[in-house]
Amino acid sequence: MKRRQQGILTGMPFMANIVPRTFVDDLGRKLYLAKVPTRIVSLAPSITEILFAIGLKEDIVGVTEFCDFPPEAKAKPKVGYSHPNIESIVALRPDLVLAPRAFLRADLLSKLEQLKIPTFIVDPDSFDEIPGRIQMIGRMLNRSASADTVAMEMRQRIAEIQNRTEARPRPRVLYVLNSQPLITAGPGSFIHQVIGLAGGTNVAAQAAVAYPRLNMEAVLTEDPEVIVFPVGVAEGIPPAEQELWRRWTSLSAVKKGRLHQIPADLLNRPGPRIVEGLEQLARILHPEAF
């Protein structure tokens, strides 16, 4: 492979078709793509959503069993999720596998490398990186224009939310991933960042890990004003869980009845719809600003 000269011409629009087709993924691995992949396997719901959003629904040949958005994704062949089936991936003859870092076992990655199936890890560390990752996937797959549109729209909506919530008092928020035992999202998680962007203060901001098991005593001391429950599609907060929380009558959130739900998929998936999750959360935290 001849390394192309990288010069000032590289950035010019008319040179787009001859720019080096080498990409660096989130594990720092370099991937050279001689031609644009047309048989893509996605190993994460977020990646599937990105691919659909930039208009690649024809090129997706395999998804995980949790890829349920957009609905057409459900019709695609499944390859598993936390334990993807290597044989079914191979059988799909992909020319690119897009995978997240989480849940991807090291042996699977080395096996894919051994089988010469190009694998690219997409795993943004922070909220701000998501639009950039979408653009990168767009460049890899020759969909720069639509990826740029998606990314730009995301950035605009994020800026809009920040404008509306910036000057307002920031309510203390508890995000309940699991009630018993209580697990919440701390610093280092996407959700912590989303709470900040939506104009709230995470009560678990002091925690040492990304998904701490929070002590109930700490919750009572921090006194959250809003409690947010991520829920599945078309599902409310289970009555038993609500009862569990209504017991703590000294909490401001319980006094004011501010127990809210938010679709879990919107905030769990670092894809285009995370902005929608951000908007919903901002509306919950600052109903008067919208």
Partner 1 sequence: MSTITDQRSLATKTGRLTAQPGTAGSSVRPGTTPAAGSVLTAKRWLSVMLGLSAAALMLLLACLQFGTQWIGAGQLIELLARLVRAGGTDAEAIGTTGVILFQVRLPRVLLSFLVGGSLASVGVVLQALLRNPLADPYVLGVSSGAALGVSLAILLGVGTTVLALSALPLCGFAGGLLSLVVVYRMAASYGRLPVHSLLLAGVILNAIFSAVIMFVTSIMDPNRSAGMMTWLMGNLSAPSYSALAIMTAYLMVGVFILFKQARVLNLLTLGEESARSLGVETERVKRLLYVVSALITGAVVSVSGMIGFVGMVIPHAVRLVLGVDHRILLPASALVGGMFLLVADTTARTLLSPAEIPVGIVTALAGGPFFIYLLVWRKDRFS
Residues forming contacts to partner 1 in the complex (CB under 8 A) are 66, 81-83, 103, 177-178, 180-183, 186, 204, 206-209, 211-218, 220-221, 223, 230, 238-241, 243-244, 247-250, 264, 268
The C-alpha angle 157, 268, 23, rounded to 5 degrees, equals 75
How would you label 21-49 residue by residue, b for 16+ Cβ within 10 Å and e otherwise?
A: bebebbeeeeeebeeebeebbbbbbbbbb
DSSP character at residue 69 = S
Distance CA 117, CA 109 (A): 10
Looking at the Cβ atoms of 57 and 78, the one nearer to partner 1 is 78
Q: What angle separates helix 274-285 from helix 190-197, to the nearest 10 degrees?
A: 50
Here the contacts of 4-9 (C-beta below 8 Å, separation 24 or greater) are none
Instruction: Write down the least CB distance from residue 281 to partner 1, Å.
Output: 17
Instruction: Write down the least CB distance from residue 36 to partner 1, Å.
Output: 31
Bridging pattern class, strands 96-99 and 119-121: parallel
Instruction: Write down the least CB distance from residue 64 to partner 1, Å.
Output: 10
Looking at the Cβ atoms of 107 and 217, the one nearer to partner 1 is 217
Looking at the Cβ atoms of 46 and 165, the one nearer to partner 1 is 46
Residue type for position 248: W
Instruction: Write down the least CB distance from residue 45 to partner 1, Å.
Output: 10
Looking at the Cβ atoms of 109 and 183, the one nearer to partner 1 is 183
Instruction: Write down the least CB distance from residue 225 to partner 1, Å.
Output: 14
Question: Read out DSSP for 36-62?
Answer: ---SEEE-SHHHHHHHHHTT-TTTEEE
Of 177, 286, 174, 281, nearest to 224 by C-alpha is 174
Bridging pattern class, strands 183-184 and 96-99: unpaired
Looking at the Cβ atoms of 150 and 245, the one nearer to partner 1 is 245
Looking at the Cβ atoms of 149 and 252, the one nearer to partner 1 is 252
Instruction: Write down the least CB distance from residue 247 to partner 1, Å.
Output: 6
